[in-house]
Structure formats: C-alpha cells, structure tokens
A and B are shown apart, each in its own frame.
Chain A
Amino acid sequence: DIQMTQSPSSVSASVGDRVIITCRASQGLNKWVAWYQQKPGEAPRLLIYGTSSLQSGVPSRFSGSGSGTDFTLTISSLQPEDFATYYCQQAHNFPIFTFGPGTKVDIK
C-alpha cells in the first residue's frame, strides 16, 4: 500500500500569511491527488483535484501543485475562515483511495 505523510502536522499562522502544506507519498503518484478542508464538526470539503485544479466555488488563494512523490497545497493569504485541518488524498492505486494524516492550521 502507498503510505502518505503530510508536513507539517500542524502550523500556527496569522491572517495574511502564506501557508504551504506538503503531502509526500511512499512512491510516485499519478495526477489524481486531491486536497480537502475540514472544520470541526463538519464534513470535508473538496478544494483541489487533479493535483492543481480548483474546485468550483473555492477561492483562488488556494492552489495545488506537485508531481512524483511530493505535492503541495498553498494558501497564498490566509483568511480567518481558513483555520481548519487539511487532508490530501490519492487514487494512484485506483480503485483504492488513501488519505493523508492531515495538517491542522490554527491561529498564531
């Protein structure tokens, strides 16, 4: 099975900061990498699919990139509503899906 790690596991940041979250896989992945945002008590929300495509309705301050084993989610200017936990997800071994362990973004 492909193992996923995320770094950092948590980050404290201020409004307006640029935040970069990395997802690393134990082997090279195809383009089917997605990112989700989850706030306490809520279901996850799709932000990015296909490594870098922005889901409809998601603010443009979110962006994704990467290839091979390393993928990143960037929040260009953190907003108050962005404090949440972020998960990457891969489907390289489709139809098996795997989520990363999550990165918590909280207020500095």
Chain B
Amino acid sequence: QVTLMESGPVLVKPTETLTLTCTVSGFSLSNAKMGVSWIRQPPGRALEWLAHIFSNDVKSYSTSLASRLTISKDSSKSQVVLALTNVDPMDTATYYCARISDCSRTSCITAAFDYWGRGTLVSVSS
C-alpha cells in the first residue's frame, strides 16, 4: 500500500526557514522512475507545484521560487525533505507531497501525480 505523509511545523515566523518532511511507504525512493514533488495550496486558492526530486537525486524547482527552495531525500529513511527559506505570510498554505512513478530525468509515461499525502497546513505569522 502506497502512502505519503507530510510532517513539519504548524507555525513559522516570517524570515525563518520552513522545513517539511515527506515520509513514504509502499515504494522505494531508489527505484528508477520514482520521484516525489512538493505542491502547495494557499487557503481557498489553487495548487502550486514547488519542486521535484528524481530517483537519481536530480532536482527541479519552480522558476518563481527556485532561489528559496531546496529539495533533498534520504532513501534509507524513505524521506523527502523540502526547505523554504525566508518565509512570508504569503507562504501560508497546505503543503502536499505527491508521487510520480514513471518519470526518468528525461522522459515520462504519464507525468501525473498518482499518490498524494493528506497535506500539512503551515501558517506564517509573527
């Protein structure tokens, strides 16, 4: 059974760094074509893709947030970590991790997120 679970702080102060962890089960982060993205959703608003990490540790980032984002993984712990620096109240959102199971660094079969975590709501406020 494939599951993803997000964890991290509920409240972060402006200018701090937000660090979130996605713990996966039912598949291996080392398997070829497995990758995990982080996606966020401000309250009442649309989904926004943030970052993706491939099984070979190659990473990609949203062009608008690339300077503030770092994604990493520890396959032995089945975890993918997202760091967002210098947070602002506009970063208040539910943060999801989601899996793509059929993409290498250069090509995909579906390029679609087939499993999602339940999300974690992060508020940025002083």
Contacts and interface: CB of A to CB of B under 8 A. Distances in A.
Interface residues of B, number: 28
Contacts of A95: 52, 54, 58, 60, 103, 105
Interface residues of A, number: 26
Chain A interface mostly helix, strand, loop or mixed?
loop
Nearest to A34: B112
A97 B116 contact: no
Interface stretch (B10-18, B43-51, B75-83): B43-51
Contacts of A96: 49, 60, 62-63
A89 B118 CA distance: 19
A32 B46 CA distance: 20
B63 A55 contact: no
Interface in A60-108: 87, 89, 91, 94-102
A84 to B, nearest CB: 13
Nearest to B110: A49
Interface string A31-57: 010101010001111100110010100
Chain B interface mostly helix, strand, loop or mixed?
loop
A42 B119 CA distance: 8
Contact of A44 (B48, B103, B113): B113
B108 interface: yes
Contacts of B46: 87, 99-102
B62 to A, nearest CB: 7
Contacts of B105: 95
Nearest to B47: A99
Interface of B: 37, 39, 46-49, 52, 54, 58, 60, 62-63, 96, 98, 103, 105, 107-114, 116-119
